[in-house]
Amino acid sequence: MRRLLSPRNLIFALFVTLAVVPFLANKYYVFIANLVLLYMILAVGLNLLIGYAGQLAFANAAMFGIGAYGAGLLQAHFGVPYWLALPSGALIAMVSGTVMALPALRLSGIYLALVTLAFAQFTLWVMSHWDTVTFGAGGFSPPRIDFGPLPLTQPNGMYLLSWLAAAGLIWFAWNAMGSRIGRAFVAMRDGEIAAQALGIDLLRYKALAFALSGFYAGTAGALYGGVLGFVGPEGFDLLQMVLHKAAVVMGGLGSIMGSIIGAVILVVLLEVIREFKATMEIAFGGLLLAFVLFQPRGIVDLLRRKLGWDERLHYKAGPDQTAPSEPTPAATRKPAE
Amino acid sequence: MTATKHGLLAATAGLCVAALLGVAAARADSTGVTQSEIKIGAIGPLSGPIYMWGKLAMNGVEAVFAEVNAQGGIHGRKLVLVREDDDCKPERAIGAIKKLAYDHKVFAVVGGACSNATLAVRPELEAAKIPMVVNSAVADGITNPVAANIFTTQLTASVESRAQLQFAMERGAKNIAIVAQHDAWGMARYTPLLEAFKAKGITPVADEEIQAEPNDATAQILRIKGKGADSIILVTYPKAGAILVRDALKLGFKPLWVGQTAINDMDVFQKQVGLPGALDNFFTITATRYQPTDPEMAEWSKRIKALFPGDELSVFNLNGIGSAQVMVEALKNAGKDLTREAFLQAMGKIKNFKTDVYPGPITCNAPTSHQCNQSPAWIQIQDGKPTVIGVTTLN
């Protein structure tokens, strides 16, 4: 039974379920499933940066927005077809992410958080105020995406693209974190000086972590613009950042499976909360508090203990696996000198 | 033989007509309508800092529906309101509309509080062919260019902006300054305001930006004062407006203030400003003819209190009441065999309809314009009480 419920099998089952949603569910549930796919990409990308590489960054919502704006504006201003605008948006976000790695070389912890937060606010300001390019605070609707000659409507076409992107990026992240890259990230997270002593090039791997995270967020952003048919600055504010972090925290830091679980829970939760009108802030805030207090390593840690999951390079608890208040390696790590 | 031929032709023609009628009947969309009820959806923020434009407007709609239901409903059908929270975000609003359309299967939607969120759902509404009556969001793009199934009973941003400038000029203003928020809400009004200035061939003497939640506006006021402005057009939320008025008075600057519908709860605004005499020269637009404390609103006040114990009637309730009354009128006029097509036709034909709350009559000039409210009224504090002083007829 435990073997049957392994992370790989569950991911496979989840993607099979998501693949059949458009055939079985109405358009509302298809939309929600599409958001699940996008938040999975976002959470996995952010987890690579903060969970594996240990960089406390707050610019994921900005990267998400850069991807959405990049792809949308290329279509709106230059008539670039979506098949080209989508990877372009992701690449623009990846380049922005790589630039973000520069301050990360000299800063860590709270200082890095502040710099990335400032970058996120600056990005939001540009989106809202550079009217001639970004259409300003009112946002814009990118041109309709034509999936011809495939017999697909825009919602179904976007769903298919999101499914393929999520599957591909999760597969890549899973394998990358099991490779030399993942080991370098974790070494960097656990101690930069020790990592350097082991011959790990900090510049290279920090840039790679930010670039990968930017690419994931940018891809999700470029898809998001197509799914919504609208791009506006309020979709990429601090609340959006909180949602990404919440998905990672609820699922489990430093775990691909945790990110997937966190994203599913987050999107479903936001919709369930919709049912309890006007209680969103209380319910969501309470849940986050409960996780931080009682399950700080996320749901995946619980599943690891109950089902014996063992994900490569996932944070391991110490000898006393039941102690929930035990600090994570990232929390105990001293800032880089 | 000829008679037989004629008979055959007539029979064929009859069959064709019957078939066409059948197709037409099959196409007529009566989703959300049963023998006993009509399901209407509502979207808007139910919590957060601007819940008033969502939740309270919905309460107003609910009060009208309760009144109609108490009188037997519309052609025997009760009105049922299904609320969905859009959190003022495009993503949430699209989810809310999809839920109302495909899960709750509502007949029509009323509401829409935030401009960007409502703009974002326009393509979805058009694709799902659900009629919508907007009651709070003001962005012109929601209804212009005309979408066959979207109407608004709220004053739109361009109507308000033109009215603000016209009012200032009618009051003798020569050097007019602007203070605006440059967020999604503010830009939806600021852009048409600049166009209105251009159309009149004037340039604002100062054009200042302010945040939605500022702590101080001394810098803006000093710059405006330095430019010799005699009037200020405000494109701000109440908090920013109150801080501007307070700081101006503090610096001995007493221009003509011209607000808009975001600052139409003057009782609350007066308390926010908190300085006696600060609002002597302050005028603002209201989308409603009466203030909640006016005797003409006593009945609605009672109904709101009965439905939502603890609530006091507010101007946000009035927005909901006005839009729901227009919707109810169109539902009645659409007839017993209610379809979305019949309802949209009835909405488009509404002419000079007087509600209990809007300053002027509601006229929807379909298919040219679905912006059915063109009558901004003005309020001022007189003897410590918000008082409607007139209605602007736009030049």
pLDDT at residue B12 tops 70: no
The verdict on A191 touching B (C-beta cutoff 8 Å) is no
So what's the pLDDT on residue B323? 95
Q: What is the pTM assigned to this prediction?
A: 0.81
Q: Of B8 and A55, which is predicted with more confidence?
A: A55
Would B344 be classed as within a structural domain?
yes
Percent of chain A scored above 90 by pLDDT? 47
Are residue B147 and residue B201 in the same domain, yes or no?
Answer: no
Residue A160 has which token pair? 């298919």
The verdict on B329 touching A (C-beta cutoff 8 Å) is no
Chain pair A-B, CB pairs under 8 angstroms: 97
The verdict on B90 touching A (C-beta cutoff 8 Å) is yes
Are residue B176 and residue B244 in the same domain, yes or no?
Answer: yes
B139–A138: do the CB atoms touch at under 8 Å? yes
| Residue in A closest to B45 by C-alpha | A278
A136–B99: do the CB atoms touch at under 8 Å? no
The verdict on B87 touching A (C-beta cutoff 8 Å) is yes
So what's the pLDDT on residue A290? 86
Evaluate the CA torsion angle B87, B91, B95, B96 in order and state its sign. Answer: positive
- Tell me the chain A residues in contact with residue B42 when contact means C-beta distances shorter than 8 Å: none
So what's the pLDDT on residue A313? 52
pLDDT, averaged across chain A: 85
Domain count of chain B?
2
pLDDT at residue B27 tops 70: no
- Residues ≥6 apart with Cβ < 8 Å to A257: A7, A10, A11, A251, A300, A303, A309, A311
So what's the pLDDT on residue A217? 96
Are residue B262 and residue B307 in the same domain, yes or no?
Answer: no
Range of B166's domain?
158-286
A274–B98: do the CB atoms touch at under 8 Å? no
Strands B377-382 and B282-286: antiparallel
A139–B83: do the CB atoms touch at under 8 Å? no
So what's the pLDDT on residue A318? 47
Would B235 be classed as within a structural domain?
yes
| Residue B378 to chain A, least CA–CA distance (Å) | 27
Q: Which long-range contacts (CB under 8 A, 24 or more apart) does B145-149 make?
A: B146/B366, B146/B367, B146/B368, B146/B369, B146/B370, B147/B122, B147/B370, B148/B344, B148/B367, B149/B125, B149/B340, B149/B344
Q: Which of B286, B317, B335 represents a domain boundary (last residue)?
A: B286
Would B28 be classed as within a structural domain?
no
Categorize the per-residue pLDDT at B132 as very low, low, confident or very high, splitting at 50, 70 and 90. Answer: very high
CA atoms within 13 A on the CB side of A92: 22
Would A337 be classed as within a structural domain?
no
Q: Which residues of B162-267 form beta strands (DSSP E)?
A: 176-180, 206-209, 231-235, 256-258
Would A1 be classed as within a structural domain?
no
Would A62 be classed as within a structural domain?
yes
Mean pLDDT on A97-114: 82
| Residue in A closest to B138 by C-alpha | A138
Alpha-carbon span A255 to A248, nearest angstrom: 9
| Residue B320 to chain A, least CA–CA distance (Å) | 18
B101–A27: do the CB atoms touch at under 8 Å? yes
So what's the pLDDT on residue B8? 47
Q: Which of A229, A234, A270 is the closest to B184 by Cβ? A: A234
CATH number for position A28: 1.10.3470
Categorize the per-residue pLDDT at A1 as very low, low, confident or very high, splitting at 50, 70 and 90. Answer: low
Q: Which of B286, B304, B337 represents a domain boundary (last residue)?
A: B286
Q: Which of A66-70, A285-289, B340-344 comes out lowest in average pLDDT?
A: A285-289
| Residue in A closest to B93 by C-alpha | A228
Are residue B213 and residue B269 in the same domain, yes or no?
Answer: yes
Q: Which of A152-161, A210-219, B215-224, B381-390 comes out lowest in average pLDDT?
A: B381-390
| Residue B187 to chain A, least CA–CA distance (Å) | 6
Categorize the per-residue pLDDT at A336 as very low, low, confident or very high, splitting at 50, 70 and 90. Answer: very low
Q: Of B177 and B215, which is predicted with more confidence?
A: B177
So what's the pLDDT on residue B19? 42
A278–B51: do the CB atoms touch at under 8 Å? yes
| Residue B4 to chain A, least CA–CA distance (Å) | 48
Would A2 be classed as within a structural domain?
no
**Which DSSP state fits B261?**
G
Alpha-carbon span A89 to A70, nearest angstrom: 4
pLDDT at residue A335 tops 60: no
Q: Which of A227-236, B24-33, B216-225 comes out lowest in average pLDDT?
A: B24-33
Would B4 be classed as within a structural domain?
no
So what's the pLDDT on residue A112? 85
Would B24 be classed as within a structural domain?
no
Mean pLDDT on B170-180: 95
Are residue B69 and residue B144 in the same domain, yes or no?
Answer: yes
Percent of chain B scored above 70 by pLDDT? 93
Are residue B261 and residue B245 in the same domain, yes or no?
Answer: yes
pLDDT at residue B302 tops 50: yes
Q: Which of A136-140, A220-224, A245-249, B324-328 comes out lowest in average pLDDT?
A: A136-140
The verdict on A228 touching B (C-beta cutoff 8 Å) is yes
Are residue B189 and residue B150 in the same domain, yes or no?
Answer: no
Are residue B166 and residue B266 in the same domain, yes or no?
Answer: yes
Are residue B100 and residue B113 in the same domain, yes or no?
Answer: yes
Range of A78's domain?
7-332
A137–B84: do the CB atoms touch at under 8 Å? no
Q: Of B80 and A305, which is predicted with more confidence?
A: B80
Q: Which of A29, A128, A228 is the closest to B94 by Cβ? A: A228
As for the ipTM of the complex, it is 0.78
pLDDT at residue A284 tops 80: no
Domain count of chain A?
1
- pLDDT tens digits for range B28-38: 788 899 999 99
Would B211 be classed as within a structural domain?
yes
Would B249 be classed as within a structural domain?
yes
pLDDT at residue A309 tops 90: no
So what's the pLDDT on residue A321? 43
Are residue B103 and residue B80 in the same domain, yes or no?
Answer: yes
Are residue B222 and residue B140 in the same domain, yes or no?
Answer: no
Are residue B149 and residue B76 in the same domain, yes or no?
Answer: yes
Categorize the per-residue pLDDT at A2 as very low, low, confident or very high, splitting at 50, 70 and 90. Answer: low
Q: Which of A194-198, B61-65, B166-170, B348-352 comes out lowest in average pLDDT?
A: A194-198
| Residue B280 to chain A, least CA–CA distance (Å) | 33
pLDDT at residue B350 tops 80: yes
Categorize the per-residue pLDDT at A315 as very low, low, confident or very high, splitting at 50, 70 and 90. Answer: low
Percent of chain A scored above 70 by pLDDT? 88
Would B209 be classed as within a structural domain?
yes
So what's the pLDDT on residue A65? 96
The verdict on A285 touching B (C-beta cutoff 8 Å) is no
The verdict on B139 touching A (C-beta cutoff 8 Å) is yes
Q: Which residues of chain B form beta strands (DSSP E)?
A: 37-44, 78-85, 108-111, 132-134, 150-152, 176-180, 206-209, 231-235, 256-258, 282-286, 377-382, 385-391
CATH number for position B90: 3.40.50.2300
B46–A277: do the CB atoms touch at under 8 Å? yes
Would A21 be classed as within a structural domain?
yes
- pLDDT tens digits for range A132-184: 899 888 888 899 888 888 888 889 999 999 999 999 999 999 999 988 999 99
B123–A141: do the CB atoms touch at under 8 Å? yes
pLDDT at residue B9 tops 60: no
The verdict on B289 touching A (C-beta cutoff 8 Å) is no
